[in-house]
Structure 1
């Protein structure tokens, strides 16, 4: 991922030094595991622990000759260890290092993303409480429907990202698996107890069964989880972008002093943060497709997944980390315009009360079809004349048979739409 969309903590997980350090620790732990079960001398294991190291530059030089990154690394480590180095990589295959290291990297990435999500939800909850009873119009198909509150809209966002946490925790559990089982996964040359020992030390679960690799359904699950979280980010970025449109302007991204919106039009205040979030989400969804393509490997392993994973996992985790932190900041600094919400709610002259009148009529005994047609007729007159809906309702002879003017006024009040806000917040765990 380019530096523009990267944060240092997540980027560090994917640096070469981190990878090679993991490789070294896995190899040393495997030697110690063999010593622990009496397979090799304990003194040799101590020597390996004391002397095992590498020079990244020499690893690169070795790889020019070997055209194999793991062998290049092993040659360099063995050079430093001496005779005891013969036990390094004993009974292992390259994927034992690669897949176990990838598991460690993805677990570390998941932990950062989980922290990001929890921080985001905390910010959203605070905003939801602040605007719990600020009314606005709800929209279906982009058209005014019935009132809700801005706090309820944000509570929905809070709930959605709660599911993101649940999914990512599950994906983390499925990916937190290592393997040291050899060339086709049979432990033919390395006791399974060594695998168990190494994985326990690394806080991973040893795979119950593997081939030369861990199966890629695990990795596809992880990546599709990231894509789903990114899609939730996109969903809310899109929501706020729509609410910032000039003719709506119910919320707005923070616009800093000195910030510019356009090279040509000095008046512009564009929702660039939301647009950036929507764009990056497309990248992550695309990477999810690549991860799904990696599931179908040949027999016990081919290498077709490797080049893909070197790109998609760093890119997706770094990008999503950036996105979640950016969305968190966007919500925290978001400007809300309650007066515009109220203005927009009244644009349709009270048409949001149509269902309330319909139900009031059926409660009084009117046939639903007759009631619907009477209310729709009043609504169409309101659309046509741009006069208040309640006036057309009161003029309807059909409606007047069932409802008094006072009952009509009560039915058209928006108050009923807000009566369950407190209990909804309580159900979601958003409390004062």
Structure 2
């Protein structure tokens, strides 16, 4: 048994996508580390940092080594014996290619290799996340168009407030997701930076042409050389983590809304479900909001790891494993969890008739603001508020329609005719600006 979450062969798909797990699992990560080290040896050979023939042997060994169970057993045993994160890898490669062993991993620290790998992996992770985000944006755009004028109750503090449209609600989700897409573009400009600065960041192991070696290595790996060592500057990594907090938070907000609106008593939207989907093994009728519900734990995983990542900002001196090594866990886990958060909107069942039915169940009380504003022109806002508050209470207590009690009230009748009362209560009048706001979001370029 490998656990209940990310590493589980059974439950791992609940916590990440296959594509993201393939980026961060031991085998693809180790293969990419070795590819990076092969490139490093080749560049060092070209600049005579190490003998050219040995550089070729190292590169060949890195690319030829078979990453089987025996190899990983050797790496694990070496780590457990030495307590060093990469000594086991060096020993395993050296056993398999003695001719390369003396020059393997020459002049580079663990952090040089792992950070360069992380930048490459996060670049791919960003592309995967953008694909799902774009799909969610397309789905939200469709819902805005289809339900621009679908009237429903707007709720505050869990209670019906004023009429809105479902398209207006989704437009808020859409605008937020578009901002996240822009943030991904902005963070991309600060990521993709390599690292090959050595023990204290001074490039001392790369010889007199160290800056050229550094630049050639980065460019060959598709990375940008940094202006200076960022061994202890973790702001870009922390920024990535907190961008995913925003993305996961939006997904959780949408998921929680759907979770609440799917309640039997409300039943305005429902997650799309396949025939095979089971809500309960004891209550066969249940159609549970499985994905909406799961967005909460996923978002919490992202937030918790991002908080841990933020603790890595204060580093001591020129390297600080106490602060840096949290990245080995936090960045991977929050990146994988975030990849599962944007897959909800494509299959969403919307019940416009139920939305209107729920709105009508208020007996017209959701029109209280409109009537108050009509009265305020004659009586003043505070007086109008007190009057409408009294009438709304009377209508609720006697179970009569709000409009009926309004028309019968002498204080209201002295100011407004029946037609003047009924007009602002019309749902189309109250939600007229909702459609314009939806159009505004749909018309934006970002």
After TM superposition, the score normalised by the length of structure 2 is: 0.86
User: Which stretch shifts more, 248-257 or 302-311?
Assistant: 302-311
Q: Which residue of 2 aligns with 1:146?
A: 162
- Residue 107 of structure 2 corresponds to residue 91 of structure 1: yes
* Match for residue 338 of structure 1 among 347, 352, 358: 352
What displacement does 1:85 show?
6.5
Task: Report the alpha carbon displacement of residue 81 of structure 1 after superposing the two structures with TM.
Answer: 6.7
1:104 is matched with which residue: 120, 125, 131? 120
Task: Provide the C-alpha distance between the structure 1 equivalents of 2:46 and 2:430, rounded to a whole number of angstroms.
Answer: 68
The answer on 1:410 being equivalent to 2:419 is no
Summarize deviations over 1:333-359 as a string: whole Å, max 9, x none: 222221211111011211111111222
Correspondence 1:171-320 to 2 at 5 A = 171-190=187-206, 191-210=210-229, 213-257=231-275, 259-305=277-323, 308-320=326-338
Using the TM superposition, name which of 232-241 and 365-374 deviates more.
365-374
Q: 1:258 to 1:13 in 2, by over 3 A?
A: closer
Give 1:411 deviation, angstroms: 1.4
Structure 1 residues 314 and 254: alpha-carbon distance in aligned structure 2, compared to 1, 3 A threshold:
same
Tell me whether 1:379 sits opposite 2:392 in the alignment: yes
Cα offsets for 1:43-97 (capped at 9, x unmatched): 6655554554334334642553444342333455566777676554343222111
When residues 414 and 183 of structure 1 are mapped into structure 2, their CA distance, relative to the original with a 3 A threshold, is same
- Please state if 1:4 is matched with 2:31: no
User: Map of 1:48-127 to 2, 5 A cutoff?
Assistant: 48-50=58-60, 52-53=62-63, 54-56=65-67, 57-58=70-71, 60-61=73-74, 64-65=77-78, 66-77=82-93, 88-127=104-143
Assess, with a 3 A threshold, how the Cα gap between structure 1 residues 214 and 98 changes in structure 2: closer, same or farther: farther
- 134-143 vs 394-403, which moves further: 394-403
Counterpart contact for 1:137–1:341, Cα < 8 Å: yes
Residue range with higher mean Cα deviation, 198-207 or 108-117: 198-207
Aligned partner of 1:24 in structure 2 is 34
CA gap of 1:73–1:259, structure 2 versus 1, over 3 A, is closer
Greater mean alpha carbon deviation, residues 121-130 or residues 71-80: 71-80
Deviation at 1:141, TM superposition (A): 0.7
Q: Structure 1 residues 350 and 307 mapped into 2: Cα distance closer, same or farther (>3 Å)?
A: same
Distance in 1 (CA, whole Å) between partners of 2:137 and 2:39 is: 39
Between the aligned partners of 1:162 and 1:259, the Cα distance in structure 2 is: 31
Cross-structure match for 1:425: 438
- How much is the aligned-residue C-alpha RMSD, in angstroms? 2.7
Q: Report if aligned partners of 1:106, 1:172 keep a CA contact under 8 Å in 2.
A: no
C-alpha distance in 1 between matches for 2:299 and 2:433: 34
Alignment of 1:339-358 (within 5 A): 339-358=353-372
Contact 1:103 1:177 in 2 (8 A): yes
User: CA 1:85–1:262 in structure 2 vs 1: closer, same or farther (change >3 Å)?
Assistant: closer
Distance between the aligned counterparts of 1:44 and 1:4, measured in 2? 43
Secondary structure of 1:265 counterpart: coil
Looking at structure 2, the residues matched to 70 and 59 of structure 1 have their Cα atoms a distance apart, in angstroms, of 12
The more displaced of 171-180 and 148-157 is: 171-180
**5+ long unaligned stretches in structure 1:** none
* 2:3 aligned residue: none
Give the Cα–Cα distance (whole angstroms) in 2 for the partners of residues 74 and 97 of structure 1: 13
